[in-house]
């Protein structure tokens, strides 16, 4: 079993889901936020009352998730003709550590267009090397970027922008679970901008999905491409927005975070 599938594995008992944090996806402190988001999403995907596919997910990081057992309790707010609204809590020893709202939708063919200007992915990329000082979750991914990430912590940089390819390592067919986790693999922008380690943590994360499960499955296990940037760092918080698309230019995910920082 791929370590991502192990990490999001849940035991279902009468509408509540039990799981365990994954050592493979640990962060500096506690779990990688992207795996927490994928675990919450999986509880909904496994829920017997779930209808449709993920459209939007907002995850609020309420308190530190400790290593060990957790419980996820999805609450179905309403099922409409073409969408469904959920409120979800993740608890540890009855203390809420994460909340989420999610919308699932049954999508139909409509007039389509993409206005997103797909950035040209650098012709020459190198794999970003893993160093033991980096968080453990990074070992589950292959990231490729210009210069192999050597420019990522450029002290002269006046931008918080990153463009990179993202692939599960080992490769795994793309689905909503892996896409959700991949969407959170962009380092806190304050560290890119300041070119140094800065204590920081996401407090809320919103993701909007642009395609259905069949489109993700058709992509297979190839790398996707993503970019992230911040607009403003001010008084303890910054925003972080990102987009993920296929090498063919199909936009899969747009995302926005609010991140606490201390510097």
Site for its own copies, rule CB under 8 A: 55-56, 58, 60, 62-63, 77-78, 80, 82-83, 85, 87, 89, 96, 99, 101, 103, 105, 107-116, 158-160, 193-194, 203-204, 206, 208, 210-212, 229-237, 239, 241, 243, 251, 254, 256, 258, 260-263
Nearer to its own copies, 13 or 110 (CB): 110
Shortest reach from residue 34's CB to its own copies, in Å: 18
Nearer to its own copies, 127 or 159 (CB): 159
Smallest separation (angstroms) from its own copies to the CB of 9: 26
Give the C-alpha separation, 86 to 258, whole Å. 21
Q: Give the up-direction half-sphere exposure of residue 91: CA atoms within 13 A in the CB hemisphere.
A: 11
DSSP assigned state of 102 = E
Structure tokens at 129: 């090397």
20: which 2 tokens? 């365990």
- In the numeric block, which tokens belong to residue 90? 């993740």
Instruction: Please state the closest distance from residue 43 (CB atom) to its own copies, in A.
Output: 17
Residue number with CB closer to its own copies (126 or 212): 212
Smallest separation (angstroms) from its own copies to the CB of 188: 13
The span from the CA of 29 to the CA of 11, in Å, is 25
At residue 248, the 3 state secondary structure works out as coil
Q: Which is nearer to its own copies, 46 or 56 (CB)?
A: 56
Give the β-pairing of 69-79 and 16-20. Answer: antiparallel
Closest distance of CB 165 from its own copies, Å? 19
Nearer to its own copies, 130 or 237 (CB): 237
Please, which residue, 71 or 168, has the CB nearer to its own copies? 71
DSSP letters spanning 149-170: GTTTT-TT-----EEEEEEESS
Shortest Cβ 192–its own copies spacing (Å): 10
Q: How far is the CB of 225 from its own copies (least distance, A)?
A: 14
201/219 Cα distance (integer angstroms): 31
For the four alpha carbons of 106, 58, 33 and 240, in that order, the dihedral sign comes to positive
The Cα 56–Cα 58 span in angstroms is 7
């Amino acid at each position: 079993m791929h370590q991502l599938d192990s990490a999001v594995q849940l035991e279902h008992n009468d509408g509540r889901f039990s799981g365990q944090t994954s050592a493979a996806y640990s962060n500096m402190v506690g779990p990688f936020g992207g795996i927490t988001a994928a675990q919450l999403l999986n509880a909904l995907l496994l829920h017997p009352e779930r209808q449709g596919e993920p459209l939007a997910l907002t995850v609020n990081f309420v308190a530190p998730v400790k290593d060990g057992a957790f419980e996820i309790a999805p609450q179905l707010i309403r099922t409409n003709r073409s969408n469904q609204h959920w409120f979800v809590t993740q608890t540890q020893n009855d203390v809420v550590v994460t909340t989420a709202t999610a919308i699932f939708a049954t999508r139909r063919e409509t007039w389509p267009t993409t206005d997103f200007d797909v950035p040209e992915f650098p012709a020459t990329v190198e794999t970003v090397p893993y160093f033991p000082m980096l968080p453990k979750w990074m070992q589950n991914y292959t990231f490729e970027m210009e210069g192999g990430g050597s420019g990522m912590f450029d002290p002269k940089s006046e931008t918080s922008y990153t463009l990179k390819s993202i692939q599960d390592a080992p490769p795994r067919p793309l689905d909503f679970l892996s896409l959700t986790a991949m969407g959170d693999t962009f380092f806190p922008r304050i560290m890119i901008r300041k070119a140094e380690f800065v204590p920081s943590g996401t407090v809320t994360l919103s993701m909007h999905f642009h395609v259905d499960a069949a489109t993700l499955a058709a992509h297979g296990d190839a790398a996707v491409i993503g970019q992230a940037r911040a607009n403003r760092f001010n008084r303890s918080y910054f925003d972080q927005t990102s987009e993920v698309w296929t090498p063919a230019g199909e936009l899969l995910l747009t995302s926005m975070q609010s991140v606490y920082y201390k510097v």
